[in-house]
Chains A and B, each alone.
Chain A
Amino acid sequence: MIRSDVLKALIPVISDHFTVCNIGLPSQEMHMMDDQPTNFYMLGTMGLSSSIGLGLALAQKQKVISIDGDGSVLTNFGTLPTIANNVADNFILLIIDNGSYGSTGDQPTYAGQKTSLAAVASACGCENVVECQAEDAVETMKAALASDKMTIIVCKCESGNIPVPVITMDPVVIRDRFMTEMAKRNA
């Protein structure tokens, strides 16, 4: 399974929750397969999906899932200690780890070599870290959602991409649609 297969399998489970979709293909794939107000698409700013998701989770009560990548987490490694030390039990960080910078042409990352992101997250102090294979992503996500505990999921999958259109929505429209839905659910 490649990232788009993992997302496709996860959509029935995560569709009703707020997601922060990482820059590039993860956002484009979520936009193509399940566009809706609860999706926040990052059009730029590599690395900050987990930080935005943490800020969202700390600010309100709805569950927030950051859909991140191995390359992006490597770019913003400082996020893991911050997450570990600021526990938000409505936050799930899903790192789809295909061992490559998928959006830029599948250049290998260190996460696909010697570096274990799950081990790093644990060493940073994150308490519920689960590494799973792509085939188990749905069950792992269901368990994390049911636990009501902040969870870091490192989902290992194969690298590879499907053709997807770029997102042409205006950023302020993405943001306003997302915030309106969030305010509605928190009302």
Chain B
Amino acid sequence: MLDIENLHASVNGTDILKGLNLSVKPGEVHAIMGPNGSGKSTLGHVLAGRPGYTVTAGKVTFLGQDLLELETEERARLGLFLAFQYPVEIPGVSNMEFLKAAVDAQRERRGEKPIDAVSFMKTARETCKAVDLDPVFLKRGVNEGFSGGEKKRNELLQMMMLQPRLGILDETDSGLDIDALQVVARGVNSMRSPDRAFVMVTHYQRLLDFIEPDFVHVLAGGRIVRSGDKSLALELEARGYAWLEEEVA
């Protein structure tokens, strides 16, 4: 579903990704780990098409299309979702209005009419419950004054409402209490299906106890330097990254 070949990308003239390869098939869950500043979030933004992130070489195919040719919003409508490491606030725009506009944008691409308000509200309320957010959050401004953990759960809420083909979760587990971590895990697990895949960026093996990954990759210096199964995460937890970075050097 997602094929990344020799991806090079820069931000503000600084090269961050330096020849990254990754292949994700439908139904799979990939975990990406790696030191701070190694380029994990950059990868997510490059895939999502964040303005200012320049691809200097390489190729990315998503669902058979040349992903890098598509506008940011087209990538999203095609089913690529990025849960942000640092969700931004949009004061004055209610979560509900925002979610409905997002859902309708996807429907429009599929040639469907906007969702009717009643069934939308019903789904939104149920999904709130699933991510353990009070439905009053639907009426508040997007992320406006939300706590760190609430913002993360709000990202999950959006992902569950949009039902993407590929979910990229950038440290959605960071800053969550243990109950909230379970909520996120339950949400992701409930969405796992043979035609959907996840790429989860995390620093903690803990998350992987709840969401079992098919692959674990280590991103360092802008490249995937090691891939393995779940046991790689345990090894990293025990030994840190220094030995890997040395090996690569």
- A and B held together in a complex: no
B residues contacting A by CB (< 8 A) are none
Query: Which of A's residues lie within 8 Å of B, judged by CB?
Result: none
